[in-house]
Amino acid sequence: MENLAVVGVGYVGLVTGACFADLGNRVVALDINAERIEGLRRGVMPIYEPGLEELVARNVAAGRLSFTTSYEEALRGADFAFIAVGTPGGAEGEADLQHVRQSAEAIARTMQAPLIIVNKSTVPVGTGDWVADIIRANQRTPIPFSVVSNPEFLREGSAIADFMNPARNVLGSTDTRAAEKVAQLHLPLRAPILITDLRTAEMVKYASNAFLATKISFINEIANICEALGADIKEVATGMGYDPRITRHFLEAGLGYGGSCFPKDVKALAYMAAEQGRHPQLLQAVMDINEDRRIQLIEKVRMLVGDLPGKVVGLLGLTFKPNTDDLREAPALDVAQRLIAAGAQVRAYDPVGMLRAKELLPALETAESPYALAEGADVLVVCTEWNEFKQLDLARIKELLRHPGVVDGRNIYDPKVMARLGFQYLGFGQGYGADGEPLAMAGSEKQARS
């Protein structure tokens, strides 16, 4: 059993701490937010993540996991200190490292014995060296330490499974022995471990996320072409995905990516490249295509309802993806803002994200169920592919709508089924009938678009 301190109890820190405790380690999770720590001591999770509440409760009861606001308490007897704090993006894409700096300074002032400091936060290339400089500059007396980069690859909504069943663990350090000690922590996971230098490990994280974001923007670009030529993007993606060099993952056309990682990390990587005199034109195209998806969705709404002032638009889903309450860079919020600015009345339903969304966008109305959302609306817009939306009584939805319009930003419905039910339906890249209309509209009565 090893003793770990984890600084930060957000998505990454809390999942990391709880999972390492479940592997048999003693973990003290620290956060300077006293309200959040007090809530965790009462069993109240600060985030929504399937299975997390049970995992935390089990390890707290076993005495392996505890919470504190004190660096002294967290570092007492610790062999490793994981930094897992937020690194939000700035206006130009630069990462805001103030929380990393504060954590490093506090660790330096508090540590009483040799320590391996592990950067778990997503940080710009070179941050590991910078953290080492901060530690040295703020130590009261010289104490040996090492810095290891261990980027996280957790997906919100499946973070626990991702931690316990990783595709790989990446470790970077100038101290190979320290990296090997961190590797020992990960051996029970039985996954490949790559040990490299600090900057390469930091780059692996950015390059991975940028590549996945590129796949999403690529398939959305192909979806645009499919719409123009009459091909079906879902079948195209399936055909592409059978190729083991490509795979089916991240080939879902629709509203584009959002969340706390892809938008921030692609922008940050482009910023880092530009700062070094490079021209990251592919990364810029990825971001431009993603931005265009929201604009195209608004245009599809106009295709169905005409001018937006006075129209009631219902949004199915607000979080950036299902099985999370995270609204950071959520496409739905961007869409809602654009619709409201255009004069539409916008209401929304989301299983877990509505209260926070109202705080962020007070003009947004909310509904207690998808059916309440549909009642009297001119059009429904699918923004998040929650499973419950796939199981709706669509015939009932049609009866509740003022006009039977659906814009499917996640392609969760079958156009032919929607046409048979009498909907005016627009997805993304799903092909056209012989008359030039989308397949779903070819089979249903066409509504005037004025």
> Which residues participate in catalysis according to the annotation?
261
- Provide the pairing of β-strand 26-30 with 405-408: unpaired
Are 128 and 98 contacting, i.e. CB atoms less than 8 angstroms apart?
no
Rounded Cα distance between 138 and 146, Å, is 15
Give CA angle at 58 (54, 61), nearest 5°: 135
**How large is the angle between the packed helices 52-61 and 11-22, nearest 10 degrees?**
50
Residue 317's closest CA among 307, 308, 327, 309?
327
Provide the residue type at 335 as one letter. Answer: V
Rounded Cα distance between 177 and 186, Å, is 15
- In which order are the strands placed within the sheet that holds 115-119? 65-68, 26-30, 3-7, 80-83, 115-119, 145-149, 169-172, 193-196
Give the chain's end-to-end CA distance (angstroms, integer). Answer: 69
Residue 376's closest CA among 356, 351, 397, 401?
401
Are 333 and 366 contacting, i.e. CB atoms less than 8 angstroms apart?
no
Helices of type H across 276-315: 281-305
